[in-house]
Amino acid sequence: MRLRLLRRRLTISAPRVAIRSALPWPLRWVALALVLGFCASLALWAFEFGKSIAGFDRVSRTEFLRLQSEITVLRDQARQRQTVAATAESLLATERAAKESLMAQVRQLEADNRTLRGDLGFFEKLLPAAKTDGLAIRALQAEVLGGIQLRWQALVIQSARNAPEFNGRLELELAGMQSGRPWTQILPPQGQALQVRQYRRVGGLLDLPPHAVVKTVTARVLDGATVRTTQTMPVDPALR
């Protein structure tokens, strides 16, 4: 009987044998947790050791707070500089507008200066001039433009002090030749209104009739039907 049992155990027909651990499952999980904890502790130690080697541990919390404070200060300074830049840009725009306004004023003053110089040159032509106590025409000028227009100007002076304002009219009498015949014409036909307190500069452009050649121009100041003053000047042939 024993021999049969021994043969069955030693031959292929022997029954299967299952080997089981003597440790229960709770102890296995505890052991696994210990192993994982040890591995995590080892990894953490390696990480901290690496930080110490790289020098990261030298930056303390105080240093971190100092750096954070410096960052806050730099941000405030950046905002202040942005505000200053915006203010400077606004001031620059205002300065540009003021400069453009000043340039416009300078151009206007230059134009006024040229006008005053022209008036001064016009008045200088009056010297020497005879002194009168009433109205007088000075510096009568006339120029034919292209044979179709007459440009003229004159200065009417009331030399008496505290004289009342004169209200009358001024007319030009043109004399010359037209189509080979003597020709005269008053322009404008009814004269032009004239008001003079101390002096008045008058002038303008007049259209000439076809084929008219102007030789003389006579300016007259009238008070109703009374001629108060008159002046005649020849027209330079070179200007016709």
Q: Tell me, what CATH number does 152's domain have?
A: 2.60.40.10
pLDDT in tens, 182-213: 989 888 877 888 888 888 888 888 888 888 89
CA distances from 148 to 187, 204, 208, 212, 214 (A): 14, 14, 5, 8, 10
Residue 23 lies inside a defined structural domain of this protein: no
Handedness of CA 233, 236, 237, 240 (dihedral sign): negative
Q: Is 165 helix (H, G, I), strand (E, B) or coil?
A: coil
Are both 120 and 139 inside the same structural domain? no
pLDDT in tens, 4-38: 655 655 555 555 555 555 567 777 777 778 888 87
Q: What is the DSSP letter of 11?
A: S
> Using an 8 Å Cβ cutoff, are 221 and 137 in contact?
yes
Are both 81 and 150 inside the same structural domain? no
pTM: 0.45
* Low-confidence spans in the chain with pLDDT less than 70: 1-23, 49-61, 119-133, 236-240
Helix (H) or strand (E) holding 168: strand 166-178
Are both 143 and 207 inside the same structural domain? yes
Residue 165 lies inside a defined structural domain of this protein: yes
User: Residue 73's domain spans which residues?
Assistant: 50-124
